[in-house]
Structures are given as structure tokens and as C-alpha cells.
Amino acid sequence: MKAIAHGTPDAHHGFKLRYVNPATGASPMPTIGACAQWLPSGFETKPLRSTDGTVIVALEGGGEAKVGDQTWRFDANDIFVVPSWHALQLRTDRDTVMFSFSDRPVQQALGLWREQRL
């Protein structure tokens, strides 16, 4: 992941890559989207909310995840869920790699998906 981290990280996502089928540019699975994300040590994202429910797996690193009004500590191998339309804000205390998946592709296909950067 660090190899793709050129330039300034996005304020809401850090460095994030969506997995896509290279032949079509679409999600590998029609109803599930997957992403890999790298957040450098000490990085704090700005709050973001979207209509898709998201499952996040911390593969490496750790920090805090604020989901709505609640804040939890996470470390490598922890899993947490961000319910639909709940704001997410992440703060890392060391380099962090995350994997996430959601129902974004099906929501986009139905014209229901939206995102709000707070």
C-alpha cells in the first residue's frame, strides 16, 4: 500500500484503493465492493458518512474510530462496522492498513448511494 502513497492523502480517506475487475472497471462482485486503505501514523481523517453499511478490518496498525457519537480503540485484527449514514472519523497512532467491504455497488446500481463529506 505504501507504494501507492504519493502526494497528499485525501482528507476523508487517506490513501484508499477500490478493488475492481480490470476488464470492466466494475466491482469484482456485483453487490459487494472492497477497498484497501493506508493511513500514516498520526493521520486523522475528516468525518464522512455514506448510505452504504461498511465492515472494516484493521490488518495492521491501530488507533481510534469514531462512529457517530461513539469512539472505540482498534488494533490489528479488530473488526468494526459503520452503519448506514453514521459519520466515520479515524485517527491512527501508527501506520495502519485496513480492508473494508460494503454494499456500495448495488446501491450505486439502484441510484441510492450517496456520500457526505463533513
Number of residues written out for the chain: 118
Count the domains in the chain. 1
Residue 6, number of CB atoms within 10 A of its CB: 7
Question: Which run of H or E residues covers position 39?
Answer: strand 33-39
The whole-angstrom separation of Cα 32 and Cα 44 is 27
pLDDT of residue 2: 54
pLDDT of residue 26: 86
Structural domain of residue 77, as residue ranges? 2-117
What is the mean pLDDT, run by run of 10 residues, along the chain of 118 residues? 70 94 88 95 97 96 97 98 97 97 93 95
CATH of the domain at 106: 2.60.120.10
pTM of model > 0.75: yes
